[in-house]
Amino acid sequence: MTTPPPQQPPLSQLFHHDNTTSYLDAVALGARTVADHLDRGGRPATGRDARSAAARVAAVDLDAPLGDAASAVEELSRLWLQDTVWFHEPAYAAHLNCPVAVPALLAEVLISSVNASLDTFDQSVGATFIERHLVDWTAGRIHGPDHVGGDGIFTSGGTQSNLQGLLLARDHALAAGAPADRLRILASTQAHFSVQKAARLLGLGDAAVLGVPIDAGRRMDPAALARALDGVAAAGDVPMAVVATAGTTDFGAIDPLPELAALARRHGAWLHVDAAYGGGLLASRTRRHLLAGIEHADSVTVDFHKTWFQPVSASALVVRDGATLRHVTWHADYLNPKDAAHPNQVDKSLQTTRRFDALKLWMTLRTMGADTVGDWFDAAIDLAAAVAERVAAAPDLELAAPPSLSTVVFRYAPAGVDGAHLDALNTRLRAALYDSGRAMVAATKVDGRTFLKLTLLNPRADVEQLAGLLDLLRETGAGLAAELVVGRPPRQRALHLVEAVR
């Protein structure tokens, strides 16, 4: 038996012009609630374990509404907000989550409240042109001011942008007469897994993606690409696309774009540049040159929700030749007929109904400008260099490689611990830091061994704060190493997390 919902005045929760009081109250309550939770005394997390987080949520009876927003928000604080991870804390250094620009948060209120859909002009009016203007502006930063014919579309993220880029590449190859079962994608062994996923979704299969070896800087080795392309030709296969990564997720490595572009062109392959991470350099006043060669790309992925300090979701796929977007066009009589009187964006998108995410970037650029965005990313890159120096100088820390962008890959390696024990120690160390709530770092594998990773995207964080994180990490690690050596069982909570993240 469920309790009957409390009686409410009819339509009081429906947003309309006579009901702005409840709207303004709701938005203010939301903003105040977030503001009230923001300060956790420097702790990015509370260490809430997955089991108890799941139990709290599962206990909610969704058929028994609470009847008012204040009660629902209060409940939500317990279920989520009090334990959520804060990306604005300097000790948050795990994944590619960024602290967000305030003008973009203002935009979020406008986006959801107006609820425009960017598929057609008659559902969005000026919004269609705001998105187009931003795509043109981004394309200008990629291809240079003199290039004409570029275009693109906002997407839900780098995964979708990569999928669409590769879809265009596939259909471009098929249109030129290539047999579907011969199509090959060449990406470095460090490329994002969404490339592999895209190949599956596009019906090309896992084997269609050839992993090209990397050089000492973890960039795709052009000589290895040349050999791979020759191998593709010798087998009678078709090099559908070369995927260059501009900022690998772990090491921030930027593949040598000019060389890869020349090879792709020589072999008639589509060049897709995955700049989901490194795309922020397009706004940098000092490091734009690191992306030299990106102007040759047939398609480019840019994630505004990573290095442009935008709330999730905000990403774009930008193409050199807008006509290639026809490969995702389908005409529906009721939406975008061939003889439509108005322009539309649905012709260029994998999505139909689509959020006006572009407005976040628009408000950011119109309020504070691109230079500030670029300065913020530059600050994170400078910080990574400084932190890497501290890591290199610490006798019990081992730096995997000098940073390329804003990640620092390293491991805790005290004297007397080696091999598989080091892997277990670093895995536990990461979990113990989360459990403490005081810091969050990521983990990855380097040549089969477990390493830790700091992903720095906080322009407010300074090197002393990160040095404090390293001290905490080494102290915590020393405690865990002692347990390992003595052979005592690790603390239970740390084990729970390890299980939960598997």
Ligand X SMILES: *Cc1c(COP(=O)(O)O)cnc(C)c1O
Considering beta carbons, is residue 96 or 240 the nearer one to ligand X? 96
Ramachandran angles phi, psi of 319, nearest 5°: -120, 150
∠ CA(430), CA(436), CA(442), 5° rounding? 25
* Chain residues 74-103 in contact with ligand X, contact rule CB under 6 A: 96
Closer by beta carbon to ligand X, 308 or else 412: 308
Binding flag, residue 276, ligand X (CB under 6 A): yes
- The alpha carbon of 19 is separated from its chain's Cα centroid by a whole number of angstroms, namely 37
| Residue 404 lies near ligand X (rule: CB under 6 A) | no
Query: In the window 309-348, what residues touch ligand X (CB under 6 A)?
Result: 315
**Nearest approach, Cβ of residue 275 and ligand X (Å):** 8
Residue number closest to ligand X, CB atom: 158
CB of 259 to ligand X, least distance (A): 19
The window from 12-20, 154-162, 368-376, 444-452 that contacts ligand X (CB under 6 A) reads 154-162
Write the binding mask 345 to 374 for ligand X: x where contact by CB under 6 A, - elsewhere: ------------------------------
Q: Which helix (H) or strand (E) holds 410?
A: strand 407-412
Quote the least distance from Cβ 210 to ligand X, whole Å: 18
Give the list of residues 6+ apart from residue 240 with CB closer than 8 angstroms, or none.
166, 169, 170, 173, 178, 183, 184, 185, 204, 208, 269, 270
Residue 261 vs 397, nearer CB to ligand X: 261
Between 195 and 328, CB nearer to ligand X = 195
Question: Please, what is the minimum distance in Å from the beta carbon of residue 458 to ligand X?
Answer: 17
The pair of structure tokens assigned to 260 is 């890869």
- Rounded distance between C-alpha atoms, residue 454 and residue 93, angstroms: 5
Distances (CA, A) of 68 to 13, 22, 32, 61, 83: 10, 11, 16, 15, 23
Count of residues of this chain found to bind ligand X when the rule CB under 6 A is applied = 15
**Cα–Cα distance between 71 and 48 in angstroms, integer?**
22
| 249 is a site residue for ligand X (CB under 6 A) | yes
Nearer to ligand X, 178 or 186 (CB): 186
Instruction: Give min distance, CB of 309 to ligand X, in A.
Output: 14
Q: Does 437 bind ligand X (CB under 6 A)?
A: no
- Minimum CB distance to ligand X smaller for 150 or for 158: 158
Q: How far is the CB of 274 from ligand X (least distance, A)?
A: 5
Residue 219: name the closest of 195, 187, 263 by CA. Answer: 187
Residue from 119, 131, 255, 303 in contact with ligand X (CB under 6 A): 303
User: Judged by CB under 6 A, which of 86, 154, 277, 412 binds ligand X?
Assistant: 277
Instruction: Kindly write down the DSSP assignment for every residue of 71-90, as one continuous string.
Output: HHHHHHHHHTGGGPPPTTST
Q: Considering the complex, what minimum distance in angstroms separates the CB of residue 403 from ligand X?
A: 15
Q: Which is nearer to ligand X, 166 or 484 (CB)?
A: 166
Q: How far is the CB of 192 from ligand X (least distance, A)?
A: 3
| 5 DSSP assignment | P
Residue with smaller CB distance to ligand X, 267 or 272: 272
The answer to whether 278 and 290 are in contact (CB under 8 A) is: yes
Compute the least distance from the CB of residue 361 to ligand X, in Å. 14
CA–CA gap between residue 493 and residue 499 (Å, rounded):
10
Are residues 37 and 79 in contact, defined by beta-carbon separation less than 8 angstroms?
no
Binding window for ligand X (CB under 6 A); candidates: 10-18, 274-282, 442-450, 474-482: 274-282
- Which one, 310 or 364, has the nearer CB to ligand X? 310
- What's the burial of 262, exposed, middle or buried (CB within 10 Å: 0-12/13-18/19+)? middle
Write each residue from 155 to 194 as x if it is in contact with ligand X (CB under 6 A), else as -, in one continuous string: --xxx--x-----------------------------x-x
Distance (Å, whole) CA 301 – CA 306: 12
Pull the structure tokens for residue 236.
Answer: 């009678």
Using rule CB under 6 A, residue 274 touches ligand X = yes
Residues sharing a CB contact under 8 Å with residue 41, sequence separation 6 or more, in sequence order: none
Please name the residues in contact with 223: beta carbons below 8 A apart, sequence gap of 6 or more. none
Q: By the criterion CB under 6 A, which residues form the site for ligand X?
A: 96, 157-159, 162, 192, 194, 245, 247, 249, 274, 276-277, 303, 315
